[in-house]
Amino acid sequence: MAGAVTLGIVYGNESRNGYHKTRVLELTLLVQGGALTCRTGRQVGGGSGDPVYGHGAQYVNEEFTVLGQAAGEDQTFLFPAGKHKIQFSFQLPDKLLVTSFTGKYGKIYYQTITVLKRPSVPTLTSHRELHIISPINVNAPSLYTPVQRFKEIMVGCWFFASGPVSVNAKIGRKGYCNGEAIQIYADIENGSSRLVVPKAGIYQTQSFILNGKTRTVRQMLASVRGNHVASGSSDTWNGKTLKVPPVTPSILDCNIFRVEYSLVVSVNIPGSKKLKVELPIVIGTIPLTPPNYAYVVSEEELSRDISTFTEIGGLIEGFEYPPFAVIQEFRFQPPPLYSEEDPHPPSIDGQNVPFTLEN
C-alpha cells in the first residue's frame, strides 16, 4: 500500500519560504488494526461521550520509518516553510485480514498514525482510517450449492384446529454479491381457514461477545411481498427476485463477532404465529463467473461419445485430422453470437450475390 505524508510548516499566520526552517528528527508511520467490542454495551457513536471498548483482538501492529536517523548518526532533516509531500509505501501482513466493519456494539478497524518528532517541541501525530475488504469468492463449491428449507405448522389447536400451512423454499446457490438478484422458488400451501400473505426478506445478523456473553443485533435489509393465498389454495414462486442491497461482505472468521446474512421466507397468518424458513446466504466480493462448457459434460458421457466416434471413424475419409478431434473441437464451445448481418455472405467469383425477398 502506498501513500504520502504532507507536512505543512507555518510561521505566524502565513507560510514563508526562505529564512525559516524546521528541524525534523524522525517521521514514522504506525499501522494498527483489530476488533473491539463496547464494554458498556452502548451503541457505537450513540449517547453522550465516546464508547468504552473492552474485549478485543489485534490483527496488525506494524511500524515503518519514513524519515529517520541511521544507526549511530545524529542527523536532522531541514524543511523550509511551506508544504512538503513525502511519499511512502508499506506492505500489509500476508495473512488474511478481517473486513472493516462498525456495528452497534463493536467494530473492526484499521488505521495509520503518523508521528513527527522534532527537537525541543512536542511530538505531532495524525490519524487516518483504512478500509479493508477481505475477498470472498462466491464461485467456491461450498457457496455454489442450492439451499432448501421446508416447514409446516398447524393453525389453531385441539378441537379448534383450522388446518396446516406449509412453505417449501429454495434458492439456486448460497453465495451472492452486492447488486445481484436472488431468485426464490417457493411453494406455499394454505390448508387453514384463514387468508395468509407470504413474504421474503434479506436479514443481517451481528453477533458480539461482551463479558463472556453473546449479544445479537438483527435487521432486515430488503424485502419482497407475494400475493394473498386464500383458504384451501396454494401459491408458487417461480424465481421471484429480491436484489441484494449494498452491504458489508459476510464476516465469518472473527472470534469477537460475526456478520451473517440469511434469506427468510415467511407467511403471515392472522391470529397465529408467523411461519418462516431461514436460508443462510453469504455475501461475497468476487462475483459469479460463467461455467466452462466442458465442465457440464460428465466423464461417462465423454467416454461414450469417444467410443461412438471410434466406430464410425472408418466411414469418414479424406479428413486431415481424426473426425473426433474435429467434432470435439466444437463440442464445448459456447453458442455463436447472434448477428442480423451475415459475416460470411455467399459470393460468386469473389463477388457478393445480392438478393431480395418479396411477398
Name which CATH class applies to 2-130.
mainly beta
Question: In the predicted model, is pLDDT for residue 212 greater than 80?
Answer: no
Has residue 32 got a pLDDT over 70?
Answer: yes
**Least confident interval from 24-28, 61-65, 87-91:** 87-91
pLDDT at 290: 74
The predicted model gives 151-170 an average pLDDT of 87
What band does 16 get if pLDDT is binned at 50, 70 and 90? very low
Q: Which of 69-73, 195-199, 215-219, 239-243 bottoms out in mean pLDDT, i.e. has the lowest? A: 69-73
Asked if the model's pLDDT at residue 296 lies above 90, the reply is: no
Amino acid symbol at 76: T
Task: Tell me what pLDDT residue 139 has.
Answer: 93
| pLDDT (0 to 100) of residue 291 | 64
Higher pLDDT, 144 or 350: 144
- Cell numbers describing residue 55: 474485549
DSSP single-letter state for residue 203: E
pLDDT in the model for residue 346:
57
Task: Please count the CA atoms within 13 angstroms of the CA of 244 that sit on its side-chain side.
Answer: 26
For 279-298, what is the mean pLDDT? Answer: 79
Question: pLDDT tier at 53 (50, 70, 90 boundaries)?
Answer: low
CA-to-CA dists, residue 104 to 43, 253, 268, 283, 300, angstroms? 5, 19, 29, 20, 54
Nearest to 99 by CA among 249, 285, 261, 284: 249
Instruction: Tell me what pLDDT residue 267 has.
Output: 97
- Average pLDDT estimate for 257-273: 94
pLDDT at residue 329 greater than cutoff 50? no
What is the model's pLDDT at position 76?
82
The mean pLDDT value for 164-169 works out to 96
**What average pLDDT score do residues 55-67 get?**
86
For residues 176-197, b (16+ Cβ closer than 10 Å) or e, as one string? bbeebebebbbebbbbbebebb
Q: What is the pLDDT of residue 226?
A: 95
Query: What local confidence, expressed as pLDDT, does residue 81 receive?
Result: 78
Residue 259's pLDDT is what?
96
Residues 6+ apart with CB under 8 A from 143: 137, 173, 174, 175, 282, 284
Q: Which residues pair with 199 in a beta bridge?
A: 225, 266
Q: How far apart are CA 321 and CA 263, in angstroms?
A: 53
pLDDT on residue 310: 54
- What is the architecture, at CATH level 2, of domain 141-284? Sandwich (2.60)
pTM for this predicted structure: 0.73
Percentage of the chain surpassing pLDDT 70?
A: 68
d(CA 270, CA 192): 11
pLDDT at residue 4 above 90?
no
Displacement of CA 102 from its chain's centroid (Å): 16
Q: Give residue 254's region: left, alpha or beta (phi > 0; psi -120 to 50).
A: beta
Q: By C-alpha distance, which of 293, 327, 295 is closest to 308?
A: 327
The yes-or-no verdict on residue 252 having pLDDT over 60 is yes
The closest alpha carbon to 94, from 57, 116, 62, 142, belongs to 62
Residue 327: CB partners within 8 Å, gap ≥ 6?
Answer: 309
The average confidence (pLDDT) of the chain is 79
Tens digits of residue pLDDT in 271-283: 889 999 999 999 9
d(CA 242, CA 74): 65
Decide: 187 and 167 in contact? Cβ < 8 Å: yes
**Among 35-49, 57-71, 91-105, 141-155, whose mean pLDDT is lowest?**
35-49
pLDDT band at 11 (very low <50, low <70, confident <90, very high): very low
Could you tell me where in the chain the CATH 2.60.40.640 domains are found? 2-130, 141-284
User: How large is the average pLDDT for residues 182-209?
Assistant: 95
Q: What is the pLDDT of residues 93-102, one digit of tens each?
A: 888 899 999 9
